[in-house]
Structure 1
């Protein structure tokens, strides 16, 4: 039987409870059910993977690999994932590097099939790194089944880390954040941008994100969000604004307007 996250509260109060109990809950989650069986299998077998085909032909290993990067929904998109892995991230025009969702580049870079250093699966710490990500991502999914906002909040630290790991320019980092749908959702909500904001020119979006983030959080570069204190401010504002938005949407007036519009 799998351990289910305990989430008695929502909003920022729920976030504080979750962070205070996170280590105990994730430890229990990692040791239970399907997660424990999958991580054990991955640890015992991943070093045998020497080629992209080896990984693609083992659905169980592939599910952990994709799940570690929040890409579990792509498990059946084999041709797409094979290209992501095969081309790596270092050559000009590499497929994964051109995708707006930078989780694919993070996946490709971690496994290294198409990069100069070669496949990483037999490295001593490789299994531990992927398993840590898989467990964390799986826990986020379980949290999201109960509370989507708390799942997005849990993703912030890893999402920011992935953006910074790419070591792009300042502009590239903001664009990478915008291409990471869960991370963008947090930033867009926290900074008070409406859903229609995504429809304006992409360069204007970037400038607005930079300007409002500096005004709201006092940051000077995207890298400032590596600071846990800055992430906590971002998450707090995201959860507060999200609750306000949901309350307004579910108010008697909005419900009445919705019914009249049917």
Structure 2
């Protein structure tokens, strides 16, 4: 189950069912749950706790030190759930302070060359395509699809079932169920994702009405939110309203009203 060229620190905790490939390195402080597969040249390090059924492909580096100038070598943490896939050369960094942690949920698929920065939190069933980059403290809710070579600025939130088209970049929050196209710009609902998630046509229609009320209305976003509170009451609609109300960075704006909401940063993007 363990290749003779693999190096496993005696202080590491590795379940007896784990398979470890050639030249893999597992440092002290790492705990690997049952039925994981650690491929060739994988490096697991830091105070990293890994659940069951995870697969790490060639060259993945998991739990290394954060890329943060404030970091001073503390034994910070990374926590990984179950049944995740980390393809070739994926990097996931542990937290930058002892108080926080980087978290990867369960059933996520991180494709080759993608990166998750320190203190980021991924939910479940998230897909990061090749070359997707998440800065520190990013929050990604369940069932988000981030396409190839997308960039997500630190401290940004991405709501559930959102989809970022290839090459997009965001420094503002992405509302649930929305599609990102280009810099800090949304262009409608992720209808395919909504169908796959089991939302009915009536639920999708309500979300479409809410999208128009919030992101294509000439009203200020604050006023549109107040009116939406009185008009929409389904769990999916309330999830969008509460997400937008909770923003600190601002919200990506619709292509038809680019720069109208989201603050000065969105206006700067619109002027490029």
Do both share a fold (TM > 0.5)?
no
Quick check: which one's helix share is greater?
A: 1
> TM-score, normalising length from structure 1?
0.28
Higher strand share: 2
